[in-house]
Amino acid sequence: MKNTISYIYGLAFCFLTGCASLGGIKTAAEAKKYQAENLDADQINVELLKGVSKIVANRTDTIQQSQKKTKSTVPNYSSNQEIIEVDRGSGVNKISATKLDSLKQKLQADGSLTVDPAEAYLIDYLRPEQNPDTIFLANLYIETGKRGIPIAFQYQVNKNDQIFFEFENLKSKTIQKIEIIEGNESRFNHVNLKKKNKVGGSLTIQSDNTMTINVLKKGFFRSAVKMKIRKLPKAKAYSVKMVKDTLIETRTVVEEVIDTLFAKIDEKKYSLSPRLDITHASRIDFPIAIDEVDNLIGWGYWLGLDQEDLINYDALAQTDQDTEPLIGFIKSELNLREDHVYLPRAQNPDVNLHIEKWVSDTPGLNNAKNFGYFSGNADSQNQKATIYVANKSKLYSYDISLTVVAVNLEYSQKEVEKEFYTEIPRLKLTLIH
């Protein structure tokens, strides 16, 4: 009988305990439901981000702790030999610890890093190491002031730092006011902290600033307070965006090279007798003709009407022995040289000069009566012009000098080194300070 009664009591006890447990579960569920219904969207997002951050941090920290354990337990361990298996989502990829460490160092040193989009799986492993440990700013037993003279403590804090605080009155005298000020803004204010009472909480720093803690005690007697201030530094972060990187590659290629050539194709001297000399000609005409020149693009001439003109032309040639004066003039007309070459102008009043041009070639900007350059094409006729000269003097003879230059293009194949620019997509990681 006693056993039966004991058994019944046992069943009753289990039933009541189970009901209480079910009641507790129901109460907790209702509390969670009430909390979710009363949170706004921003608060819910914050809570979700906190959860994700903890998961990622725990995952990465587990990898790092595993690496440290391997280094400490494996004899003759070399980091250069370490191979890390990186989860790509669709599979596992292996990467050397040396490469991973060098990428991390570059990111820390430069503040940014670019990686191939195909290596996007490395982003989680390149994130800055987090420091989840809180930092004690204060763990003090202090005596208050008296007669309303506050005691103050100041600390430098940064934006998004989490501050945890706790104050306890250890004596019988009431502490009239405890205040936490960020910059010029009051973030926490508690009045009349009585004996053996505690007050605490947390706050998030809004900007890089100075945090001041004031403890105020009125009256003639001091009190004592135990103060604990802890800081959880803000987590390091980085941004990721797609950018275009320019790849420069130097390659040897075969190109068609076009050279501009200058050739003196005619150099003649004529003598004009005076008018009274009936045995020789005092009047002469001669052509300017260019034959058998491929890819002709222009031509020029210079005409001297006496010996003095020829002397001046030769003197000009001595100043630049590498270039014929007429060629130098043509190059300056084509903007192939920086300085301009000025040819001698003929000023012989006894000689009449007339030039008849037979083609529509374009004259240069600085042509004169006795010299010039004309731009044309290879399809025009060979005879470009005819020069007519006549000696008006009855007593004197004159030497006429003619120089003709042809300008043409020559095409050739040549190996040249060229730079090629290619834009390739890259993922850019940038540390956010």
Domain contains 158:
yes
Q: Does 278 share its domain with 399?
A: yes
Assess contact for 407 and 261: CB atoms under 8 A.
Answer: yes
Establish how many alpha carbons lie within 13 A of residue 67's alpha carbon, considering only the half-sphere containing its beta carbon.
21
Q: Are residues 225 and 265 in the same domain?
A: no
Same domain, 151 and 203: yes
* Alpha carbons 303 and 407: distance in angstroms, whole number: 18
In which element (H, E) is residue 224 found? Answer: strand 224-232
Q: Give the model's pLDDT for residue 78.
A: 44
Q: Which helix (H) or strand (E) holds 153?
A: strand 151-157
H-assigned helices in 265-367:
307-319, 325-333
Residue keyed to tokens 């009753």 = 12
User: 423: exposed, middle or buried (C-beta count within 10 Å: 0-12, 13-18, 19+)?
Assistant: exposed
Output the six-digit token pair for 101: 């460490």
pLDDT averaged per 10 residues, the chain (length 433):
48 43 38 42 40 40 46 44 57 72 82 82 72 80 84 89 92 89 92 90 91 89 90 77 86 91 92 90 92 91 94 91 91 91 91 93 93 86 93 93 94 90 87 71
Place of tokens 């007798």: 273
Phi and psi based region of residue 196 (left: phi greater than 0; alpha: psi -120 to 50; beta: remaining): left
Q: Which of 201, 234, 267 is the last residue in one of the domains?
A: 234
Domain that holds residue 139: 135-234
Q: Answer yes or no: is 125 within a domain.
A: yes
Radius of gyration for the chain, computed over Cα atoms and rounded to the nearest angstrom? 50
The tally of domains found in the chain comes to: 3
CB distance 371 to 332 below 8 Å: no
d(CA 98, CA 121): 17
- State the pLDDT at residue 356: 94
The answer to whether residue 245 sits within a structural domain is no
Strands 398-432 and 371-375: unpaired
Cα-Cα-Cα-Cα torsion 427, 67, 131, 89, nearest 10 degrees, comes to 40
The confidence score (pLDDT) of residue 23 equals 37
33 is written with which tokens? 């439901």
3 part of a folded domain: no
Please check whether residue 69 lies inside any domain of the structure: no
Q: Quick one: 287 and 345 in the same domain?
A: yes
Distances (CA, A) of 342 to 207, 264, 324, 368, 428: 74, 18, 12, 10, 59
Identify the three-state secondary structure at position 318: helix
Q: What is the pLDDT of residue 235?
A: 67
